[in-house]
Every structure is written in structure tokens, then in C-alpha cells.
Amino acid sequence: METIRILVVDDEPDLCEILLYNLRAAGYEARAAHSAAEALRLQPQRFSLLLLDVMMPGMSGFELATRLKDNPETAHVPIIFLTAKDTEDDTLQGFRLGADDYVSKPFSVREVMARVAAVLNRTRPAAAEVTADVSYEGLQLLTAQKTISYDGTTVALTKTEFKLLYLLLTHSGRVFSRQELLSTVWPQGVVVTDRTVDVNVARLRKKLGPYAACLVSRPGYGYCFSRGRNIKH
């Protein structure tokens, strides 16, 4: 059985110990880092999931997430933010940075364990379900690398971006409502809003380069991938 390795990144040692105890009791291999810098030294690409605090001395959790998602070697690693920053803007900022879930402090350990299981169930099987690369003209969605490639440019995708683009690209021309996208791409039990879809689509468009115009918004309906759009190379 494949070992699932989880990295807890939080500057509160007591909280880390509680999370490590419960994660290990559930059968996961778990380690802790008390700063973003320490987390980077532990090579995040070696982990199956990161539980990441936001407010830490030095580099914040948001800054660390940005660095990880911008690096093709770590962009695929799922992130759950565990933080006292609990406003709607904070939550949307977390999802905008590529988070797979966002849990506000104080929280129950049982809730965190349920969120961990949900994210792992959603993200880990997804790679096995999609076995073939998908392409449209010069755009390629590379399933093994979780990247897109066009005009000699390769861009890493988060797991959410990958699933979102794969769904739209393999059903090109079909308009998906925001609710359909939420129920298909995001895991059950995770509280997200329609704006979360908009944020992820906007972020994905920035990565599509000349093919951004293919990701079309249908006001009052939702989104689709439209072939035959004017591609600006």
C-alpha cells in the first residue's frame, strides 16, 4: 500500500503535536515544520498533502502557497489552510492561491481529519481516472505532469485547475453551470461559493496564454470550452 505523507506547517508546537498524533493514528506518515522556511527544507514535493497555517513569522502561509503553486515540482501537492483568518476575503484568497480546502481556527480535530480524507479521496484517485493527454490545436493538457503546454511554453496546474480544464476541454461546447462545476470538481462536504468557481476560472485563463479566449463565460448559465475561437499567438 502506498504511504500517504502529510506535512503540518504551523508555528504552534502544541497544535502540531495534536495533529501529528491524530494523523499517525489514522495511518498517515506525518511530519511537522514550524515555519515556511523549514517546510521548504523538508522538500514539499515528497508529501501527499500540506496542512498549512497562514499567520507565521517570516514567510506567511499564503506566500508559501504562492511559491509552491508557481513551481512545477510542487504545484500538484494539495493544500489545506488551517488558519484563524476566517473572513470571506481570506477564504477566497486561499482558494485563489490554489488551496483544496480552507478550515478556520478554532476547529475540531475530527473535522480536520474528515477534511484530510475528503481532499485525499478527491485528489489522489483523480490522476488514475485520467490516463490520456487531451489537446486542442497547439494546446496540450498533459495528464502525467499535470501541466499544459502551448507554443513551447509549459505551465503547471493545481489539481483543481487540472480537473476543471479537463472537464471543460473533454466536453467542449457544453456549458456547465457553476453548481455543476462545484459538484463535479470540488469534493462533497467542502463549503465553497459560486465565486470560488469564478476565481479558479480567472486563474486558469491566465495560465492558458493565447487559448484563454477558449474558456468562455455564458452570462446567466456558466462556463464552457469553445473550440474555434480566435487564438492570438
> Residue 25 above 80 pLDDT?
yes
- Say which residue the cell 512545477 belongs to: 72
| Run of H or E residues at 80 | strand 79-83
- Render pLDDT for 49-104 as a digit per residue (tens, 0 to 9): 999 998 888 999 999 999 998 887 888 889 999 887 767 787 888 888 888 888 88
DSSP letters for 156-205:
E--HHHHHHHHHHHHTTTPPEEHHHHHHHHSPTT----HHHHHHHHHHHH
* pLDDT value of position 201: 93
- Render pLDDT for 163-206 as a digit per residue (tens, 0 to 9): 899 989 888 888 888 877 887 787 665 666 778 889 999 999 99
* pLDDT value of position 191: 60
* pLDDT value of position 1: 40
